[in-house]
């Protein structure tokens, strides 16, 4: 029996990386027995069949797991947004951050296309990132002229996943970080606003002390697993002051003596974040019960 990490999965073939090389494994027996499907990122035990292949017997317990695309044991998600083309949307950024927090994964903010931005736009983005940094986020602002390795490599520890809407530059980043990779870029279908993507399967690419993976755009914008009572905890600055609210189950909307409302009073940045909180709260409240 050997143990390793699944770094790639293509139609039932799981590439498992071990100390002495990569094995192409299958999981048929495992699925038949307990309906378990391995995903990229899993640590698995497998029975060696020959020099290059084997059968997965056991999946180690997962720390976390994203469903679309399926990847497990993620350390951080880099939320990629472009400064321009498409223009940076703070609402979309906050939505991505909330989703990543909901999976108990640390988000990092990376803004691209600095080289396409005007001086004023650069100042605006830098100012915005300072405010996100003040509430605890690590941030990056890069463009075609910047050294991506220098910006990204220090972040790589464990499995790091790139996430963000189509067209922001995720695949471009992968191609610049890994020579000979050649992931298709710039494939946005105008007909389907989902983006006729390109990045269909997930694959972990080794870098520094971990792995980096590209994901299809919009993959992360599913809120169906988030309850409205836990939403405030997914805004770190709210979570911090929440114990000072008068009511223990304060939703920070209409209650008196609310510490969150006190916090946002003097900051337009916090007020905008709060507005996004309210919008999401309402969306969650109004969502149809699904069976």
Ligand X SMILES: Nc1nc2c(ncn2[C@@H]2O[C@H](COP(=O)(O)OP(=O)(O)O)[C@@H](O)[C@H]2O)c(=O)[nH]1
**Interaction site with Mg ion (CB under 5 A):** 170-171, 198-199
Measured from the CB atom, is 73 or 166 closer to ligand X? 166
Of 9, 171, 215, 219, the one binding ligand X by CB under 6 A: 171
169 interacts with, out of ligand X, Zn ion, Mg ion, none, CB within 5 to 8 A per kind: ligand X
Q: Is 152 in the site for ligand X (CB under 6 A)?
A: no
CB of 70 to ligand X, least distance (A): 19
Helices (H), the chain: 28-34, 90-102, 119-134, 148-152, 170-177, 228-231, 236-241, 259-264, 268-286
User: Helix or strand or coil: residue 221?
Assistant: coil
Of 167, 177, 204, 280, the one binding ligand X by CB under 6 A: 167
Measured from the CB atom, is 16 or 220 closer to Mg ion? 220
Q: Is 168 in the site for ligand X (CB under 6 A)?
A: yes
Q: Is 10 buried (19+), middle (13-18) or exposed (0-12) by CB count in 10 A?
A: exposed
Annotated binding site for Zn(2+): 245, 250, 252, 258
CB of 161 to Mg ion, least distance (A): 13
d(CA 11, CA 167): 27
148 interacts with, out of Mg ion, Zn ion, ligand X, none, CB within 5 to 8 A per kind: none
Q: Is 144 in the site for ligand X (CB under 6 A)?
A: yes
Measured from the CB atom, is 63 or 255 closer to Zn ion? 255
Tokens of 254: 């209409």
54 interacts with, out of Zn ion, ligand X, Mg ion, none, CB within 5 to 8 A per kind: none
Q: Is 139 buried (19+), middle (13-18) or exposed (0-12) by CB count in 10 A?
A: middle
Of 143, 207, 269, 272, the one binding ligand X by CB under 6 A: 143
Tally the C-alpha atoms within 13 A of residue 106's C-alpha that lie toward its C-beta: 14
Q: Kindly write down the DSSP assignment for every residue of 10-46, as one continuous string.
A: ETTEEEEEETTEEEEEE-HHHHHHH-----BT-EEEE
Q: Is 117 in the site for ligand X (CB under 6 A)?
A: no
Q: Is 115 in the site for ligand X (CB under 6 A)?
A: yes
Among the listed residues 93, 6, 97, 95, the one whose alpha carbon sits nearest the alpha carbon of residue 46: 6
d(CA 272, CA 264): 9
Q: Is 217 in the site for ligand X (CB under 6 A)?
A: yes
Among the listed residues 276, 183, 195, the one whose alpha carbon sits nearest the alpha carbon of residue 234: 276
**Residues forming the site for Zn ion (CB under 5 A):** 245, 250, 252, 258, 260
Measured from the CB atom, is 79 or 226 closer to ligand X? 79
What residues contact 287, with CB distance under 8 A and at least 6 apart? 223, 224
Q: Is 4 in the site for ligand X (CB under 6 A)?
A: no
Q: What's the DSSP call for residue 73? A: S
Q: Which residues bind ligand X (CB under 6 A)?
A: 112-113, 115-116, 143-144, 166-172, 185-186, 217
């Amino acid at each position: 029996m050997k143990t390793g990490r699944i770094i790639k999965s293509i139609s039932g073939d799981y590439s498992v990386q071990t100390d002495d090389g990569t094995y192409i494994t299958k999981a048929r027996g495992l699925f038949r027995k307990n309906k378990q499907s391995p995903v990229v990122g899993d640590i698995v035990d497998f029975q060696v069949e020959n020099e290059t292949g084997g059968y997965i017997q056991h999946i180690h317990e997962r720390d976390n797991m994203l469903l679309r695309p399926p990847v497990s044991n993620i350390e951080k998600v880099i939320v990629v947004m472009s400064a321009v083309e498409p223009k940076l949307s703070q609402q979309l950024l906050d939505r991505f951050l909330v989703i990543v927090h909901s999976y108990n994964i640390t988000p990092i903010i990376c803004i691209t296309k600095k080289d396409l931005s005007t001086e004023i736009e650069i100042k605006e983005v830098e100012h915005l990132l300072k405010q996100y940094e003040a509430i605890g986020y690590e941030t990056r602002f890069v463009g075609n002229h910047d050294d991506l390795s220098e910006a990204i490599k220090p972040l790589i520890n464990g499995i790091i996943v790139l996430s963000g809407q189509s067209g922001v530059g995720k695949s471009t980043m992968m191609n610049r970080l890994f020579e000979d990779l050649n992931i298709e870029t710039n494939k946005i279908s105008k007909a389907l606003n989902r983006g006729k993507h390109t990045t269909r399967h997930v694959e972990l690419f080794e870098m520094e002390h971990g792995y980096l993976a590209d994901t299809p755009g919009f993959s992360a914008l599913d809120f169906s697993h988030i309850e409205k009572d836990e939403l405030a905890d997914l805004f770190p600055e709210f979570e911090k002051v929440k114990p000072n609210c008068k009511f223990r189950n304060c939703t920070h909307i209409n209650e008196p003596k609310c510490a969150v409302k006190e916090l946002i009073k003097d900051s337009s940045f916090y007020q905008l974040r709060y507005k996004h909180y309210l919008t999401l709260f309402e969306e969650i409240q109004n969502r149809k019960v699904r069976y």
